[in-house]
């Protein structure tokens, strides 16, 4: 809630009834609560749901954020709360901006994070422009992250509920986008609070389970999706120890990720082995002892910087970083090597750092997100 009484709850200088808000509605409980709360406050709410891939296939698919069932659920919420709702066909955009890169990155031996690219290239770029075309004053989403006003303008902060914080997936949000976006759930302390709000509004999705999978990857089976998108991608090859010994064969590099231990198909060895590198050109999976996974220095590129000073204005930035969404931030020193590139030195080495993952920057003593970039080559 803004401190200035002249501003409404979204920080804009006019009454809610005169403030149009486009709400990105996935059909889940989070974005539904955002739309319902804003409609309840009297805002001019317009709900928009994106159809991101084949609707016919989606209708039979559960557990993903943009399936056909979810489009139906979003529409029901809009009907319940009495605001307009639109479905936009972004299937081609989504394939070009997200799915194709996902497939190519995986084939190159990286471990991509397509949800970040979707936020960056579809939701916060194309959909945001659509919101402006609809004369909306801002766009709201159900992400668990906070937008706070700082001395130099809007800042990105971790959600109050760190267990649900989604800042890792939103690091590429630009300062310009941040001025237009709103995240009304970021201050909530638990998902139970969100569901209670949904129940209070009588929303049909109040008890709907959270989505778990990437929306176009049923049951988390990445390899099956890649094989469908890129026929011939699962060519067999050798599993090789880092010392050069050939230990076995595999059914395709796409079935393996850096740091993987289980399911290697090379049982009977005296030492536990992990995937330490993927040689895509030679179709080789290189395995080795756990200590080979340890990484201290990480090259990062395509950096989106959200600090108040220019990124390259300092020789180094003492910050905390996340190299995987499931890990807590760890202390690091970030040394710019160009306007959007850097060398990140971890004060404590991490295991399983993989190209294709994001490296997100945080205030080591607070909740602010300073942006981040992409890890672009292996340990």
Options 66, 115, 138, 215, the catalytic residue: 215
Length, in residues, of the chain: 379
Q: Which two tokens stand for residue 263?
A: 């399911």
Report the b/e string of 320-353 with b at 16+ CB within 10 A: bbbbbbeeebbebbbebeeebbbebbbeeebebb
Instruction: Select which of 65, 115, 118, 138 is catalytic.
Output: 118
DSSP secondary structure letter of residue 203: -
Residue 65 is a catalytic residue: no
Which residues make Cβ contacts (< 8 Å) with residue 95, sequence separation at least 6?
A: 53
Cβ partners under 8 Å of residue 231, min gap 6: none
Distance CA 271, CA 293 (A): 15
HSE-up of 8 (CA within 13 Å, CB side)? 20
**DSSP H or E run through 226:** helix 222-229
Contact 258, 270 (CB under 8 A): no
Burial status of residue 313 (CB atoms within 10 A of its CB: 0-12, 13-18, 19 or more): exposed
Q: Is 118 a catalytic residue?
A: yes
Cα angle at 307 between 304 and 308, to 5 degrees?
Answer: 135
* Residue environment code for 3-42, b if the CB has 16+ CB neighbours within 10 A, otherwise e: eeeeebbbebeeebeebebbbbbbbbbbbbbbbbbbbebe
DSSP code at position 127: I
What torsion, rounded to 10 degrees, do the Cα atoms 220, 111, 94, 34 define? 70
Q: Which token pair is 27?
A: 């059909």
SS3 at position 310:
coil
- Does residue 54 contact residue 204 with C-beta atoms inside 8 Å? no
Which residues are identified as catalytic?
118, 215
């Amino acid at each position: 809630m803004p401190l200035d009484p002249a501003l409404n709850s979204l920080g804009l200088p006019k009454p809610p009834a005169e403030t149009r808000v486009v709400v990105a509605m996935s059909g889940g409980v989070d974005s539904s609560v955002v739309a319902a709360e804003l409609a309840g406050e009297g805002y001019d709410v317009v709900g928009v749901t994106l159809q991101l891939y084949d609707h016919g296939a989606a209708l039979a698919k559960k557990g993903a954020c943009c399936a056909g069932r979810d489009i139906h659920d979003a529409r029901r919420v809009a009907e319940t709360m009495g605001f307009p709702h639109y479905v936009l066909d972004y299937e081609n955009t989504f394939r070009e901006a997200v799915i194709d890169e996902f497939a190519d990155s995986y084939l190159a031996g990286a471990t991509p994070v397509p949800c970040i690219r979707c936020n960056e290239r579809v939701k916060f770029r194309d959909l945001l422009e659509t919101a402006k075309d609809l004369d909306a004053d801002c766009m709201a989403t159900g992400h668990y992250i906070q937008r706070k006003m700082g001395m130099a303008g809007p800042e990105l902060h971790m959600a109050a509920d760190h267990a649900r914080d989604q800042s890792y997936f939103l690091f590429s949000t630009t300062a310009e986008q941040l001025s237009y976006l709103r995240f009304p759930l970021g201050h909530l302390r638990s998902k139970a609070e969100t569901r209670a709000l949904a129940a209070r509004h009588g929303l049909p999705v109040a008890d709907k389970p959270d989505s778990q999978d990437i929306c176009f990857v049923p049951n988390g089976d990445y390899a099956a999706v890649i094989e469908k998108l890129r026929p011939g991608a699962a060519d067999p090859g050798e599993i090789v120890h880092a010392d050069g010994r050939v230990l076995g064969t595999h059914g395709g590099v796409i079935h393996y990720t850096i740091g993987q231990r289980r399911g290697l198909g090379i049982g009977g060895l005296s030492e536990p082995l992990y995937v330490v590198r993927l040689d895509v050109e030679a179709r080789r999976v290189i395995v080795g002892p756990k200590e080979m996974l340890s990484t201290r220095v990480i090259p990062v590129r395509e950096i989106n910087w959200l600090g108040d000073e220019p990124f390259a204005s300092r020789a180094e930035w003492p910050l905390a970083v996340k190299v995987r969404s499931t890990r807590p931030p760890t202390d690091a020193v970030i040394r710019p090597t160009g306007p959007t590139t850097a060398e990140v030195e971890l004060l404590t080495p991490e295991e399983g750092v993989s190209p294709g993952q994001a490296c997100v920057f945080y205030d080591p003593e607070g909740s602010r997100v300073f942006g981040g970039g992409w890890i672009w080559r292996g340990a």
